[in-house]
Structure 1
Amino acid sequence: MTKPISELLDAAAKCAVPVVRGITDDRLSDPTPCTEYDVRDLTDHLIQVLINFQKLAAKQDSDFGAEPHYMEGDWRSRFADEAGALVAAWAAPGAEEGTTGSMGFPARTVANMALGDLTLHAWDLARATGQDFTPDPAVVEEIGPALAEMAPMARKGGVFGEPVEVGEDASAFERVLGQTGRDPHWRR
């Protein structure tokens, strides 16, 4: 049986929040596996992602094109709060039903985008700041096929890079990283 997306988002948040809390100020300008972002910009982007996907859960308009400015004050707690709000938004009755977003995607597809962003960017931030990151196996099981299905469109839109070969002995998560254009062995 398919798990509710809110449970999967909660599991992903429990893995991501410690990574963000573990980012020290002296690491904010470090590079990340997402070459267009340093740690500060990627964290800022990820907070924006959490906020926008809350809106999408409520079938409201979102604006991923706006420049994020969330890295002020206690941004680590803000991240944790927004991650909790994301889980609550997707747990609301009807959140997984119908379509959402300007492109009219099924709500579960949109929720898997949120789940993928939260998980992949937590890995990006962990790698960039020298932290360990192990995603929840149920999350990996959900995002693997979902992101593989989205990959051609995501590559065309510049969201995913070209696939990275990971080898036959790669873990399920390493395969997800590779299909999204990430090198599982990336080091700063």
Structure 2
Amino acid sequence: MTNISSDRPISELLDSAGERAVAVVRGIADERLAGPTPCPEYDVRALADHLIQVVINFQALAAKQNADFSVERHYTDGGADWRSRFAEETATLVKAWAAPGAEEGTTGTFGLPARTVGHMVLGDLTVHAWDLARATGQEYAPDPAVVDEIGPALAEMAPMARKGGVFGEPVPVPEDASDFDKVLALTGRDPQWSPESGPALEP
């Protein structure tokens, strides 16, 4: 993977990543919500809540507004149709990043380039969709164009992400591992993780 991103709009890539993530979330059975995930600090329910919050927060960042990541809300509690809520919020996320100027300038508390922030949510949507799929026994295949985009972007962010406890230490993978397996390993995930194998990501 080269350290060069494409010129494809973030919204177009998010649309593809979001479609796959929505399918995974709709496939989560209620009896799986208490199960483990590749992120040991989250069970399936907590990770689904986290991903919904991520999608909502990055809508605000697309509009050059600040977002509060310090509070984790509980969308999956109660009788609300949280799976449909995730689909709706993901569609809103795509529209937010398709708005004129969304990829221009800087955004967020740290004043990062807007496209870098777009790469963050694209990475979260893709990697956490894999987390949830693997945790709940579902198949998951990301869009190769999305993998090509997030590979170099996440590699550039990795030192800062590890320092902040967002990524774990990289996991060794074979030279001939797929590009997506290399992305997962970069974030501290074992691409071979299963619910039976135990935690893989050490923050």
Alignment partner, residue 38 of structure 2? 33
Identity of aligned residues (%): 73
Alignment partner, residue 116 of structure 2? 109
Q: CA RMSD in A?
A: 0.6
TM-score under structure 2 length normalisation: 0.92
2:49–2:72 Cα contact (<8 Å) kept? no
CA distance in 2, matches of 1:18, 1:70: 18
Count of aligned pairs = 188
Do residues 5 (structure 1) and 10 (structure 2) align? yes
Do residues 187 (structure 1) and 165 (structure 2) align? no
Structure 2 unaligned segments of length 5 or more: list them.
1-5, 196-203
Q: Deviation digits for residues 125-170 of structure 1, max 9, x if unmatched? A: 0000000000000000000000000000000000000000111110
TM-score under structure 1 length normalisation: 0.99
Alignment of 1:37-52 (within 5 A): 37-52=42-57
CA distance in 1, matches of 2:13, 2:70: 26
Runs of 4+, deviation exceeding 4 Å: none
CA distance in 2, matches of 1:16, 1:48: 14
Do residues 20 (structure 1) and 25 (structure 2) align? yes
Residue among 72, 85, 93 paired with 1:67: 72
Do residues 95 (structure 1) and 115 (structure 2) align? no
CA distance in 2, matches of 1:179, 1:10: 24
Structure 1 unaligned segments of length 5 or more: list them.
none
2:50–2:73 Cα contact (<8 Å) kept? yes
